Amino acid sequence: MFEKVFQLEKNGTNVRKELIAGLTTFMTMAYILTIHPKILSDAGMNEQALFTTTALSACIATLIMAFWAKLPFALAPGLGLNAFFVYTVVLKMGYSWQTALTAVFIEGIIFILLTTFNLREAIIKSIPLSLKHAISAGIGLFIAFIGFTYAKLIVADESTLVTLGNMSDPSVWIGLTGILLISALLIFKIKGAIIIGILVSALIGIPLGITNPPESIPLSLPPSIKPVLLKFEFKHLISLDMLIVLFTFLFIDMFDTVGTLVGVSSKANMLDKNGNVPRAKQALFSDAIGTTVGACLGTSTVTTYVESAAGVAVGGKTGLTSFFVAIMFAFALLLSPVFLNIPREAAAPALVMVGLFMMSPVKKINLEDYAEAIPAFLTIIIMPLTMSISEGIVFGMLSYVILKILTGKWREVSLIMYILSVFFVLKFLI
């Protein structure tokens, strides 16, 4: 059956290779089962229901990727997008999490339409490459900052806004130990370094009174998703603020997905002679449908994970790899006591490391060209300092357009960028 569906022999692989690849990919991204519910719970959502929703949405979206696109890519709710959901839309802008969830649902539908009519290419090409790289780096700093606050290594201060935490606090040492452990595992190229670091940090937290271990055998039925299922609220959606929110969700998801598809396909030597990803449209549909279904289940944007590269690196070449990842997410549903009893302090090191991974595109920014470098820098620095991804994007894009006009290079700016800039200026004026 697998041979017929996935054409394993034609692709130079077999069931054993695909199984190992699937296990490897799952191990590198299983941290999301711990981190995602904790981040979204900061918006007032039910953490236990979020665990089930996280695993279920990852399973469904990855199955669509497996059987429709037939590519070795896994999907789950995305880091960065969930931070924007919580810390910008809900906590900063003051919208309810139900409204934010509705925005994600609409974003998914828009993504489906853009993919259907092949409009995504026009939008992607309109954004300068330097800003694309800067957005990834800025989100990386933002996520790392959240990780440091989870570990209480960085705390609020009346005089300096933020300062170093109390170094005698056990939370700090759990966080630092986790960071060092994951770092060492990454240096030695150990698969599943992040999830291993989380679990070891959680174990260290038991004698320190930070971790509450499960009282019984961890296998159990998953918590109900009723507290977050179909909790939509449409009354605040018609506003300029929400238009920018929708654009930011769509923008980040689109570049996350396209960047991952191209990067991982290149690593697997899957690109065609023109450098295109095979069955890219089906892959984008998988992402868009995953986001729409995920919003219905009660989670922020579902996206394609760059960790898929880990499975590809050990031989994954077809959708069978994704199928095995989906099966593992389904099995994880039975382990909710394990994942839900992992404290924030143990999850913090993973956020710091993911922040590092997302910083890598900064190397591709031309810092000698100030018309490119200054907007990129503003994008990167404003995100963590304002606790807002969208503010970073707004300042980066506006400064890019203004500098190009002032230096007589206005023809280098796309029409879409000019239109977006008008919306951004109106946001500050209204």
DSSP secondary structure, 63-119, as one string:
HHIIIII--S--EEEPTTHHHIIIIIIITTT---HHHHHHHHHHHHHHHHHHHHTT-
Contact of 245 with 90, CB cutoff 8 Å: no
Beta bridge partners of 76: 303
pLDDT over 70 (residue 345): yes
Contact of 186 with 353, CB cutoff 8 Å: yes
Q: In this structure, what token pair is assigned to residue 246? A: 């929708």
Give the span between the Cα atoms of 390 and 406, in whole angstroms: 24
Q: In this structure, what token pair is assigned to residue 217? A: 């055998």
The pLDDT value recorded for residue 283 is: 85
Among 275, 263, 360, 253, CA closest to 309: 263
The pLDDT value recorded for residue 218 is: 66
pLDDT over 90 (residue 101): yes
pLDDT over 90 (residue 219): no
| pLDDT tens track for 379-401 | 999 988 987 777 888 899 899 99
The pLDDT value recorded for residue 120 is: 67
Give the span between the Cα atoms of 188 and 221, in whole angstroms: 36
The pLDDT value recorded for residue 92 is: 85
27 or 318: which carries more pLDDT confidence? 318
Greatest alpha-carbon pair distance for the chain in Å reads: 69
Give the span between the Cα atoms of 101 and 103, in whole angstroms: 5
Contact of 225 with 69, CB cutoff 8 Å: no
321 or 140: which carries more pLDDT confidence? 321
Q: What is the dihedral of CA 318, 319, 323, 324, to 10 degrees?
A: 10
- 280-302 core/surface letters (b: 16 or more CB in 10 A; e: else): bebbbbbbbbbbbbbbbbbbbbb
Residue the block writes with tokens 């918590």: 223
The pLDDT value recorded for residue 54 is: 95
4 or 306: which carries more pLDDT confidence? 4
Q: In this structure, what token pair is assigned to residue 231? A: 């909790």
pLDDT over 70 (residue 264): no
The pLDDT value recorded for residue 122 is: 67
Give the span between the Cα atoms of 310 and 316, in whole angstroms: 9
Q: In this structure, what token pair is assigned to residue 44? A: 């007032």
| pLDDT tens track for 106-152 | 989 988 998 888 776 666 667 788 887 888 788 788 888 988 988 99
- 78-99 core/surface letters (b: 16 or more CB in 10 A; e: else): bbbbbbbbbbbbbbebebbbbb
Best mean pLDDT range from 164-178, 218-232, 297-311, 343-357: 164-178
Contact of 50 with 35, CB cutoff 8 Å: no
Query: pLDDT tier at 266 (50, 70, 90 boundaries)?
Result: low
SS3 state at 318: coil
> What DSSP character marks residue 364?
G
